[in-house]
Structure 1
């Protein structure tokens, strides 16, 4: 009988994931504190749990724990171990406020570069050489270490970040509202394929050069402008499903293994259950852990939802974290005045807003919710989201239409893909008006031709079928 493989699961500060199997150890690096990609870690915990069901033993290790270990609490068979603090040492949204796509890309790359040295040192000093790595797509130290150790590796991502087979009609950059080139003019295609790409490389060239300097300092090979050069021989595990993004060719090393939905969902709290059970048509609003909507965004979105309530298409609003953000904005500006305007009414409200009648009866603002359970409830008829891939997976899995209000990262790409699939509407935050918002919500809730309902049924079926593939992902690993 072969010696059982033992497992050790580590939580990494650089985010991102390392999942390494050795004769006696499996190291599993999760995401850092307050990182919007923390859902990626939960995904891999679920996959590791599936692998764990193959009667594999584990051992513990002693390292300083940080507050990300709670992600592993739902998996008692997994020991989570911290390797450090956050990559983003400041609020990433504050640091990039008002920035365009190219500037945001540059700032994110700067944060990742700063973490490279400490991360690569930790990986290179592992007490046992791993036999396999699973790395998040943005964890260059993890991928570089796997290449340096000459061991196989897998890369995880929530979308098709890298096309190992070129698909020219897919728009991968976040610089256009078109998911594909199908409806683009010749000039728009040229602009996106060449001009936007050159501008992106021009903005981040100093950071890519700096990254290569870090690589050389730790004995790695320089990659130049193509940081994806090392990906060709790696297994790509994409936490999405067929039908979510436009069709495209994939290599034998690329697999859609999602949506990875944990089987250990938290149930509704007593307050959540009471609110949802006493309403029939609720809009659920959530923008993730780090996004804080501005005063204008709160006024715009609430006006749009209030308008739907006045037309009896909604009878309640569940908005996660709104109470704290309102209190923060009012504390920062004592002269602040709130304005909400619908097609039937207008409201000018002096602080404190939370004491106004509008927020007393049909608006529930908890600091945190059991999101999957909220989306699963029959009273939830609309999800207003930032467009995070994990949130989109949970919404389509439960058949809830999505109004995407994107902020950073791949959220615009997710919004465009779901709009193309017919289950969402998306807009640019800077250009959105009440009229556009009202039109989008009407299209999702009224659904005059029934197309949204049909598309939701189709996507729900595809998502629920795709959710079975997490066991297949464990088999691939």
Structure 2
């Protein structure tokens, strides 16, 4: 006790000394904004949903507080997201794309590469559905408002195409590092191969197919769609050419709402910056009836699959059966399911292995005291409630962040995109498990048992570590993101960040990869081998000649 008192006294004394030393000290203040004025900035994101927009809006709000004029350009459905950012102006460019029917495209997905590529094709249709309107809106807004810098969601080709055409610098925002300067030979960076983010656990055949055959399959299935997009651009007078995003964005800064542990660790280029996880610190509270429901339970599973991932009837039947049997076994005492677009796919009844039949409509009408299905739930508030013990999710990165921030273990039911890769990271990191769509009900029940019981405590220990990781890195992500946006706005030269360009960007491919050195080495080695061979041949001929002379000499003397 005396030791602690002494330490406290020493800390207090040190604090007083520091305070006295700081009296009268001058403080550095930034002046760059006074010299060059504030900037007009536009963030354009008409597609992708809250996970693409909320974190960037947090950065935008910070920029607005710093005195910049920032506008959020989006579609009708997402203007509501701007309400939480009072320093951001929000403007709609029209109605968005209806994605409520995604279930019809996901119901037959079996996880094959061809399925993934075909689904990518459907994704391109969504992304480019209103390209002409979006491009025109972006271009006109950038011109009429003297935009100094554009922030473009990585799905918004209209944004960076308009910025390129007007010679306006732009920053690309994404939750994934999907460009060449954010990859490595062992990283699966394409949407078609990121069912596993690295090649570490992949057999030779999978790696071989992914490296050489998947690009050809992409070309075969996606070329017609990409050709149509190119033709549509040219019809607008855009000098379009077909190239991957890595090439399009090669000179732009990429802000990634991620961090190591949630992305497979890899070297990042100078134009790629992790700023994640950016999580809103304010959230919508529980409604009275939801609070009453959660307060009256102790072990609740929360189920939500986001806006784009829609489970179909067989998936819902599997998940419902697993949850209900877990309730019957006493591991859970309730579940809350946010159905979003999936309401029409719920079965009428569920019969568990105990031969108990449940009326699913009772779950929608709140007549089942333990099982409740609603259209939407304030996710952060639900996860923060102490009764929420498990999160059954599609595996979106935003949901993963929120789950770890609250310290909630996870069951992943992935659909497409980065979700299968996220699920594998969660399973391998022992933060939860993967519920596969071809599981039987007993397998689903066993998975829930293993994760909820956590007999060796390993899941709880790892969730605690990730909770610390998320909470530590989310402290300053918004400020870091705003600093990087300002860096581009105040330091670019004709859209280029010369101070961030690595030497290889100014060198030829041969020199930057030392191919000339290897070539010279081959020449030197080749000449050395040739010279050595010539000497050996000469010596051998000399020895042979000498040997022949000696033989002839001895034969002659023997004959004499």
TM-score by length of 1: 0.85
Change (3 A) 1:96 1:82: same
Q: 2-side partners of 1:422 and 1:65: how far apart? A: 39
Residue deviations 1:89-130 (CA, integer Å, cap 9, x gap):
773333554252121111221232332222112222221342
Q: SS of 2:302's equivalent?
A: strand
Residue deviations 1:375-423 (CA, integer Å, cap 9, x gap):
1111111000111221111111211111111223322222222223221
What do you get for the CA RMSD once the two structures are aligned?
A: 2.8
Could you tell me whether the CA contact under 8 Å between 1:113 and 1:210 is conserved in 2?
no
Structure with more helix by fraction:
2
Which of 88-97 and 151-160 deviates more? 88-97
* C-alpha displacement of 1:203: 0.9
Q: SS of 1:422's equivalent?
A: coil
Q: 2-side partners of 1:258 and 1:147: how far apart? A: 27
* Structure 2 residue corresponding to 1:212, chosen from 219, 230, 245: 230
Aligned counterpart, 1:155: 172
1:21-420 to 2 correspondences below 5 Å:
21-22=39-40, 26-32=41-47, 35=48, 37-56=49-68, 66-88=76-98, 91-95=101-105, 97-98=107-108, 100-126=115-141, 127-172=144-189, 173-175=191-193, 177-321=195-339, 328=344, 338-342=349-353, 345-348=354-357, 353-354=361-362, 360-420=368-428
Aligned counterpart, 2:547: none
* C-alpha displacement of 1:283: 0.3
Larger radius of gyration: 2
Could you tell me whether the CA contact under 8 Å between 1:31 and 1:38 is conserved in 2?
no
Q: 2-side partners of 1:222 and 1:96: how far apart? A: 31
Q: SS of 1:384's equivalent?
A: strand
Gaps of 5+ in 1: 6-20, 331-335
Aligned counterpart, 1:437: 444
* C-alpha displacement of 1:302: 1.4
Q: SS of 1:283's equivalent?
A: strand
Q: 2-side partners of 1:75 and 1:177: how far apart? A: 34
* C-alpha displacement of 1:289: 3.0
Q: SS of 1:255's equivalent?
A: strand
Residue deviations 1:340-381 (CA, integer Å, cap 9, x gap):
324xx12345x6641799961112323221111111111111
Q: 2-side partners of 1:27 and 1:357: how far apart? A: 44
1:464 and 2:481 matched = no
Size of the aligned set, in residue pairs, is 443
Q: 2-side partners of 1:358 and 1:275: how far apart? A: 10
Q: 1-side partners of 2:45 and 2:155: how far apart? A: 12
Which of 388-397 and 107-116 deviates more? 107-116
Could you tell me whether the CA contact under 8 Å between 1:154 and 1:236 is conserved in 2?
yes
Q: 2-side partners of 1:446 and 1:97: how far apart? A: 31
Q: SS of 2:152's equivalent?
A: strand
Change (3 A) 1:312 1:256: same
TM-score by length of 2: 0.73
Change (3 A) 1:278 1:416: same
